[in-house]
Amino acid sequence: MAVRNITSWIPVPLLPGIEQGVLQPSAVEAIATRRPMTSDSDEIPRLFGADVGGGVTLTEDTHDGSKITRYSYLYNGLQSFNEDELEDSAEDALAAYSYEWLNELNVAFDNAALGITGARSSTESDKRPYTSVYKAIITADAEAGYTENTNLVQGACSYTNLSSTFNKVEVTRYWSDANMAVLAHPTLRHSLRGLVDDQHRPIFIEANGTNVAQDTIFGKPIRWTTGAVTSPSFAMAVAGNPLLIIVNRRNLVYGPRIAPQSRLIPASMNAAALVTYLQHRARQSAVLTVPQAAAVFEKTA
């Protein structure tokens, strides 16, 4: 007896819940000094020393004040939805897309602040809104008395190279045990495991949920971010060289101008089509105020 085929009648259920990645907070926002902005740009004053003389004759100081400019940048996003699909969907599409946009924003912002290799551009489409930490380290700063590439270490992820990276800042007046932090790309985790110093002590200690609360290297806390990678312009998925950055958080300044926000434009306001729009925006800035306050390890081998 032939069995009748009714497979086309069998519904395929859509399981509840939307599978999404884990929220990746911005590492720069987490560790940097927070100084809100009130305009599109502002200036941070700098001073690099003062002369101390001796004897009865007063010594005239030779140090002039300088400044560094920081710029905000407008990040945006847009999704369009047919009104009837939003009405029929069992899932909260608007919340899901807002979550994903914020996740991608955090990576893009970290990449812009840390890893862009080119000079800042005022052309928004160039996606080089700031002088990144990497660019600052490979660029001379005459006012700060900094020579290009002084605080850059390239090569394999080894004890020698990482110790040298830390030492670049340790020997300056910008090292402060209480204020130092590390930002690194997650792919470096694998390379760091097993590295030991001359006394065979591990330099990388991983959090274990009990007595070690946070990953550390040479005793300094690490913030992981996929934005810590070289790139010609900011991006959410970058295939450049992984970076590990040691920085005095007082000299890495984060400037929120407009916090990340999402705005719904309902279909009832669209005269041409029954389409709902979800708009996103944020205005943020980041700047390394003094190049000697940071050092960069770039994994090139």
Weakest mean pLDDT among 110-124, 158-172, 207-221? 207-221
- DSSP-derived letter for residue 146 is B
| 3-state DSSP assignment of residue 94 | helix
- Name the residue with higher pLDDT: 126 or 4: 126
Summarize pLDDT for 123-182 with one digit per residue, the tens: 999 999 999 999 999 999 999 999 999 999 999 999 999 999 999 999 999 999 999 999
What residue type is assigned to position 48 of the chain?
F
Weakest mean pLDDT among 72-76, 88-92, 99-103, 253-257? 88-92
Tokens (6 digits) for 174:
């910008």
Does the pLDDT of residue 6 top 70, yes or no? no
User: Tell me, what's the pLDDT at 5?
Assistant: 66
- Which residues lie across from 222 on neighbouring strands? 182
Summarize pLDDT for 35-89 with one digit per residue, the tens: 999 999 999 999 999 999 999 999 999 999 999 999 999 999 999 988 888 887 7
Cα separation of 252 and 26, whole Å?
14
Cα separation of 90 and 93, whole Å?
9
Does the pLDDT of residue 17 top 90, yes or no? no
Tokens (6 digits) for 185:
């790309």
Q: Residue 15: which pLDDT band, with cuts at 50, 70 and 90?
A: low
Q: Which segments of the chain does DSSP mark as H helices, in order?
A: 27-31, 83-88, 93-114, 133-137, 159-170, 188-192
Please state, for a pLDDT cut of 90, what percent of the chain lies above it: 76
Mean residue pLDDT across the chain: 92
Q: Residue 239: which pLDDT band, with cuts at 50, 70 and 90?
A: confident
- Say if CB 256 and CB 37 are below 8 A apart: yes
User: Tell me, what's the pLDDT at 13?
Assistant: 65
Does the pLDDT of residue 12 top 70, yes or no? no
| 3-state DSSP assignment of residue 107 | helix
- Say if CB 132 and CB 147 are below 8 A apart: no
Which residue bears the tokens 């909260």?
92
Using alpha carbons, list the distances in angstroms from residue 250 to 33, 34, 176, 231: 5, 9, 10, 25
- Which residues lie across from 231 on neighbouring strands? 116
What residue type is assigned to position 150 of the chain?
T
User: Tell me, what's the pLDDT at 212?
Assistant: 82
Cα separation of 277 and 261, whole Å?
14
Cα separation of 164 and 69, whole Å?
30
- DSSP-derived letter for residue 124 is G
Tokens (6 digits) for 72:
């905000």
User: Tell me, what's the pLDDT at 102?
Assistant: 93
Q: Residue 1: which pLDDT band, with cuts at 50, 70 and 90?
A: low
pTM for the whole thing? 0.91
